């Protein structure tokens, strides 16, 4: 039997957050790369869907790749590369645009949110923001991906990739594996510490509610100690009525391996919960930051990993993308 194929990615739209790490990257490094034939991609083309500074995207792509390695992805075991280095992504994306419909794209939650934000700012909405989930579907389908390990916010996009795969296969004959999203048990949606009703995202504005992977220990402590909770006293796990406290318990559980509802019982005050959560986060980030420092001292190593990765990814994607063109009769 062939090994499971896993694909996932991260956008270079901002500094990598604790949400990205606990919701996705950590599992890629600790579990996915060893159980599957896997690819992890810095999806830099997706960063062009909104207003951006090209030099910053370039810098963040590089930093993102370095952090993937720092998190523990081993280029001997999995493939790490930049999306823009592999033309198969955009070659396939066009074919999938001919299978997707305008209506289904406009229904995507992230499109609705991001386009509304863009309009509020008085900016124009790029067409690629609307079609971005199609490119993401191409990212996934090009590799015959079985599983896509992502946080909750990306589940709808993986479902679109499934729909497009099924539709293409029905219309043109079996070509694509139909992928499925897999999520972590805890911390699938790490929330902003200052606004626990919105997610801790790197693409949104920065601020004290977001813990970055490269934050110094004291910065982490300060941010966690200032997290918004509520006026209650008792520590209980309830995401609906106590989102701030539940978020801290989720983070603590993800960092220490416990279970959020069970951990709640161990605390008599919010202060003690925050203190332990801050220390747990500091400990989880420490080895990643150390390894990041080492990797930054040897930039040619990261260059080499990305070059080899792109070559491998191209070779893996080409047969499927060629098959898709042939299936259409081109
Ligand atoms: P962002 O929204 O931070 O720009 P990406 O779209 O690049 O992140 O996503 C990279 C991975 O991190 C995805 O698998 C996504 O589901 C996950 N992720 C992003 N934010 C969070 C969060 N707050 N909690 C859990 N997982 C997250």
Summarised one tens digit per residue, pLDDT across range 203-246 is 766 789 999 999 999 999 999 999 999 888 899 999 999 999 99
Per-residue pLDDT at 205 = 64
Is 90 exceeded by the pLDDT of residue 96? yes
Is 114 in the active site? yes
On whether 12 is known to bind a ligand per the annotation, the reply is yes
Q: Does ligand 1 lie within 6 Å of residue 27's CB atom? A: no
Give the CA distances from residue 243 to residues 123, 194, 239, 303, in Å, rounded to whole numbers and listed in that order.
Answer: 32, 11, 5, 41
Cα-to-centroid distance, 269 and ligand 1 (Å): 30
Residue 2 reports pLDDT greater than 80:
no
Integer Cα distance of 279 and 224 in angstroms: 9
> What average pLDDT does this structure show over 165-191?
94
Would you kindly state where each structural domain of the chain is located, as residue ranges?
A: 5-183+299-328, 217-293
Q: Is 13 annotated as a binding residue?
A: yes
202 is in an annotated binding site: yes
The yes/no answer on whether domain 217-293 falls in CATH 1.10.240.10 is yes
User: Which helix (H) or strand (E) segment is 61 a member of?
Assistant: helix 54-71
**Mean pLDDT rounded to a whole number for the chain:** 95
Quick one: which of 326, 311, 329, 322 has its CA closest to 91? 322
Is 299 known as a binding-site position? no
Q: What pLDDT was estimated at residue 280?
A: 98
Residue closest via CA to ligand 1's atom 15 equals: 151
Our answer on whether the CB atom of 110 is closer than 6 Å to any ligand 1 atom is no
Pocket test residue of 29, 151, 161, 204 for ligand 1, highest count of atoms within 8 A of CB: 151
> How far is ligand 1, taken at its centre, from the CA of residue 11, in Å?
9
The answer on whether 53 is annotated among ligand-binding residues is: no
23 lines ligand 1 (CB under 6 A): yes
Active-site choice (112, 180, 199, 222) = 199
Q: What is the pLDDT of residue 186?
A: 83
> CB within 8 A of 328, min separation 6: which ones?
95, 172
Residue 254 in tokens? 């993800």
Quote the percentage of the chain above a pLDDT of 70. Answer: 99
**Is the beta carbon of 114 within 6 A of some atom in ligand 1?**
no
Question: Would you call 112 a catalytic residue per the annotation?
Answer: no
Give the other-Cβ count within 10 Å of 92's Cβ: 25
- Kindly tell me if the per-residue pLDDT of 187 is higher than 90: no
Cβ of 199 closer than 6 Å to ligand 1, yes or no, is: yes
CA of 18 to the centre of ligand 1 (A): 9
Contact 274, 202 (CB under 8 A): no
Q: What is the ipTM of this complex?
A: 0.97
Tens of pLDDT, residue by residue over 100-130, are 999 999 999 999 999 999 899 898 999 999 9
Question: pLDDT value at position 202?
Answer: 84
CATH number for the region 5-183+299-328 comes to 3.40.50.620
Residues in contact with 74: Cβ distance below 8 Å, sequence separation at least 6, in sequence order: 33
């Amino acid at each position: 039997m062939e090994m499971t194929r896993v694909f996932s990615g991260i956008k270079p739209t901002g500094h990598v957050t604790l949400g990205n790490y606990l919701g996705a990257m950590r599992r890629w490094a600790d579990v996915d790369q060893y159980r599957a034939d896997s690819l992890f991609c810095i999806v830099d083309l997706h960063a062009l869907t909104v207003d951006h500074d090209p030099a910053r995207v370039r810098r963040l792509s590089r930093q993102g790749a370095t952090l993937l390695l720092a998190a523990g992805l081993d280029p001997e075991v999995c493939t790490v590369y930049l999306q823009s280095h592999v033309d198969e992504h955009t070659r396939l994306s066009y074919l999938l645009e001919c299978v997707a419909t305008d209506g289904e794209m406009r229904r995507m939650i992230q499109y609705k949110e991001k386009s509304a934000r863009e309009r509020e700012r008085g900016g124009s909405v790029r067409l690629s923001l609307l079609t971005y989930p199609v490119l993401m579907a191409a990212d996934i389908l090009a590799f015959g991906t079985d599983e896509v390990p992502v946080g909750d916010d990306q589940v709808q996009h993986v479902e679109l990739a499934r729909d497009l795969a099924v539709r293409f296969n029905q219309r043109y004959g079996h070509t694509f594996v139909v992928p499925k999203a897999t999520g972590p048990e805890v911390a699938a949606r790490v929330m902003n510490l200052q606004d626990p009703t919105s997610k801790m995202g790197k693409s949104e504005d920065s601020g004290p509610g977001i813990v970055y992977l490269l934050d110094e220990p004291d910065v982490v402590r300060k941010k966690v100690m200032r997290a918004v909770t509520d006026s209650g006293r008792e520590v209980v796990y309830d995401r609906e009525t106590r989102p701030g406290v539940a978020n801290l318990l989720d983070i603590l559980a993800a960092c220490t391996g416990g279970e959020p509802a069970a951990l709640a019982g161990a605390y008599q005050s919010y202060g003690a919960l925050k203190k332990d959560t801050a220390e747990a986060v500091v400990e989880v980030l420490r080895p990643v930051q150390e390894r990041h420092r080492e990797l930054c001292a040897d930039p040619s190593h990261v260059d080499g990993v990305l070059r080899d990765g792109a070559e491998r990814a191209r070779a893996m994607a080409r047969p499927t993308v060629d098959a898709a063109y042939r299936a259409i009769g081109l």
